[in-house]
Amino acid sequence: MHPIITAAELASALADDSTDVVLLDIRYQLGGPPGRPDYEAGHIPGAVYVDLDAELAGKPGSGGRHPLPDLDVFTAAMRRAGVGAGREVVVYDGGIGWAAARAWWLLRWAGHERVRVLDGGLPAWLATGHGLSDRAPAPAPGDFTPAPGALRLLTADEAAAFARDGILLDARAGERYRGEVEPIDPVAGHIPGAISAPTAENLDADGRFLPPDALARRFAALGAGADTEVGVYCGSGVSAAQQVLALAAAGIPAALYVGSWSEWSADPARPVATGATP
């Protein structure tokens, strides 16, 4: 299953009574207000709100700002939303795909294969003329049963090894990679050997993902291909999931370092590089 779905494809699936789709609204802003008020004001009809901080991540700590969630908490959230074996899941957010991709990655990592991200998120849905609902659905509970490990997860040491022996992509903005600014974490810079690959370059001017062939060319220019060991990190494991999604759309499997820079930079024993080169 291709990991990205267009607004037109989603509308067609929702209009088909024979199609069984679970919709998850993952609107989220880093450092901003919770997404629930926006969800309650209007969402794609049938969508269930999922809270990224509370249900798609654990408590901040030694594992970074957005470590893996408690598996029981994540399982309960997915069952509450109606996720079950064999059911297709479509996730969306406010546009750039970071939060939606975090949900996509967690479901795929937990063994649920039928999950896609809405290309362009809610703005794309609205741009195609589709409406919203302020009525929260009450889906029948799903039987989602996680089987963790379907996608590769990197530790800090494994991420360092990827930077030395394979390809480790840094999904943050270029100025954070170079160490010119660091608005969140205690140290500026990047993991030595990592290659700058900002997530903004996965999207076109309308906030939609580039076509798979264009994404493949982009990643090939960075040294990443289907036969390459590829890892990805970001600030705290959220935007990097969007990069893993883009790589998957290009046919390139990739591992995620969930702790990312927030975990790496918290340990003063770990080396830090600055500047434009790995």
Token pair, residue 246, equals 């883009």
Q: Are 178 and 275 in contact (CB under 8 A)?
A: yes
What is the identity of the amino acid at 58? G
Token pair, residue 117, equals 């991200």
Phi, psi of 130 (to 5 degrees): -90, 150
Whether 270 is a known active-site residue: answer no
- The tally of CA atoms less than 13 A away on the side-chain side of residue 1 is 16
- What is the end-to-end Cα distance of the chain in Å, rounded? 34
d(CA 6, CA 49): 20
Say whether 117 sits in a helix, a strand or coil: strand
Say whether 250 sits in a helix, a strand or coil: coil
User: Which positions ≥6 away from 122 have C-beta within 8 Å?
Assistant: 27, 43, 44, 92, 93, 94, 95
* Catalytic residue (one of 234, 249, 256, 266): 234
d(CA 211, CA 202): 9
What is the identity of the amino acid at 265? S
Q: Are 154 and 43 in contact (CB under 8 A)?
A: no
Q: Are 235 and 173 in contact (CB under 8 A)?
A: no
Residues annotated as part of the active site: 234
